[in-house]
Structure 1
Amino acid sequence: MPSPQPICNLSDDALDWQVLLHSGHASPADRERYQRWCQLSPAHAEAGREAEGLWEEIGHAPISQGQATVPEPRSKRRWAMSIAASLVLLIVAYSGWQQMPVWMADYHTAIGEQQRVTLADGSQVTLNSASALSVAFSARERRVRLQAGEALFETADDPRPFVVETAGQPVQSRAATFSVRRNGQVVLAQGSASIGGLPLAVAADAEAQTAWQRGKLIFNGKPLRQVLAELERYQHGRIVLSDSTLGALQISGVFDLNDPQALLHTLEQRYGIKVTHLPWLAVVH
Structure 2
Amino acid sequence: MTAAQPSPKVVKQAIQWMLRLRESGNSPALAQQCEQWRSAEHAHELAWQRVIHLHQDLDLRALPGAGVALQTLETSQRRLHRRQALKLLGGVALLGSAGWLAKDLETVSAWTSDYATATGEQRSFQLPDGSLLQLNTRSAVDLTFNDRQRLIRLKQGELLLTCSALANPGRPLLVQTRDALLEGFAGRFVVRQDSACTHVSVDQGRVAVHRPDNGELLWLDSGQDWRLDELGAHRLEQVDMEAAAWSEGLIVTRNMRLADFLAEVSRYRHGFLTCSDDIADLRLSGVFRLENPETLLQLLPQTMPVRLNRRTRWWIRLERMA
TM-score > 0.5, shorter chain as reference: yes
Give 1:91 deviation, angstroms: 4.1
- Comparing 160-169 with 85-94, greater Cα deviation is found at 85-94
Consecutive unaligned residues in structure 1, runs of 5 or more: 1-81
Q: Which residue of 2 aligns with 1:200?
A: 220
Which runs of no fewer than 5 residues in structure 2 stay unpaired?
Answer: 1-87, 212-216, 226-238
Instruction: Tell me the distance in 2 between the aligned counterparts of 1:203 and 1:91.
Output: 41
- Deviation of residue 178 (structure 1)? 0.4
CA contact (8 A) 1:116 1:125 kept: yes
Closer/same/farther in 2, CA of residues 235 and 88 from structure 1, 3 Å limit:
farther
Match for residue 211 of structure 1 among 224, 227, 245: 245
Q: Could you list the per-position Cα deviations for residues 140-172 of structure 1 after superposition, in whole angstroms to 9, with x for gaps in the alignment? A: 211111111111001113222111111211221
What's the counterpart of residue 154 of structure 2?
146
C-alpha contact 2:107 2:138 (8 A) present in aligned 1:
no
Write the deviation string for residues 219-247 of structure 1: whole angstroms up to 9, x where unpaired: 11011111011100100112122x22322
Asked if structure 2 preserves the Cα contact closer than 8 Å seen for 1:152 and 1:178, the reply is yes
> Using the alignment, how far apart are the partners of 2:268 and 2:248 within structure 1?
14
Letter paired with 2:92: S
CA distance in 2, matches of 1:109, 1:172: 23
Q: Distance in 1 between matches of 2:190 and 2:97?
A: 28
User: Any idea what SS the aligned residue of 2:154 has?
Assistant: strand
In 1, the alpha carbon distance for the partners of 2:129 and 2:154 equals 17
- Paired letter, 1:218: V
**Is 1:86–2:88 an aligned residue pair?**
no
Cα RMSD (Å): 2.3
* Distance in 1 of aligned mates of 2:95 and 2:311: 13
Q: Per-residue CA shift, 1:245-267, capped at 9, x if unaligned?
A: 32211111111111101111111
TM norm structure 1? 0.65
The 3 A distance-change label for structure 1 pair 181 and 277 is same
- Distance of 2:201 and 2:146 partners within structure 1: 26
| 1:91-148 Cα distance to aligned partner (Å, 9 max, x none) | 4531432331421110111111111001111110111111111101122211111111
Q: Is the 8 A contact 1:177 1:190 kept in 2?
A: yes
| Cα distance in 2 for residues equivalent to 1:245 and 1:162 | 46
Aligned to 2:268, the other structure's residue is in SS state coil
Question: Residue 277 and residue 92 in structure 1: after superposition, are their counterparts in 2 closer, same or farther (change >3 A)?
Answer: farther
Give the 3-state SS of the residue equivalent to 1:245 in structure 2: helix
Tell me if 1:263 matches 2:296.
yes
CA apart distance, 1:276: 1.4
Instruction: Write the distance in 1 (CA, Å) between the matches of 2:251 and 2:284.
Output: 12
Deviation at 1:201, TM superposition (A): 2.5
Q: How many angstroms apart in 2 are the aligned matches of 1:284 and 1:88?
A: 26
The partner residue of 1:186 within 200, 204, 223 is 200
Letter in 2 for 1:99: L
In structure 1, what residue type is equivalent to 2:99? Answer: A
Tell me by how many angstroms 1:204 deviates.
6.2
| Residue identity matched to 1:182 | Q
Inter-CA distance 278–203: structure 2 relative to 1 (3 Å threshold): farther
Distance in 2 separating the partners of 1:211 and 1:261:
19
- Partner Cα separation in structure 1 for residue 252 and residue 279 of structure 2: 20
Q: Is the 8 A contact 1:102 1:147 kept in 2?
A: no
| Bigger relative contact order (CA 8 A; separation at least 6) | 1
Counterpart residue type for residue 183 of structure 2: Q
Structure 1 residue matching 2:108: 3-state secondary structure: helix
Query: Which one of the candidate residues 237, 251, 261 is aligned to 1:227?
Result: 261
**1:248 aligns to what SS in structure 2?**
coil
Q: Partners in 2 of 1:225 and 1:209 — Cα distance? A: 18
The worse-fitting range, judged by mean Cα deviation, of 113-122 and 93-102 is 93-102
Tell me what 1:106 maps to.
114
| 1:115 paired residue number | 123
Partner of 1:250: 283
CA distance in 1, matches of 2:95, 2:304: 32
Counterpart mapping for 1:145-164 below 5 A: 145-156=153-164, 157=166, 158-159=168-169, 160-164=171-175
Give the letter aligned to residue 186 of structure 2. Answer: A
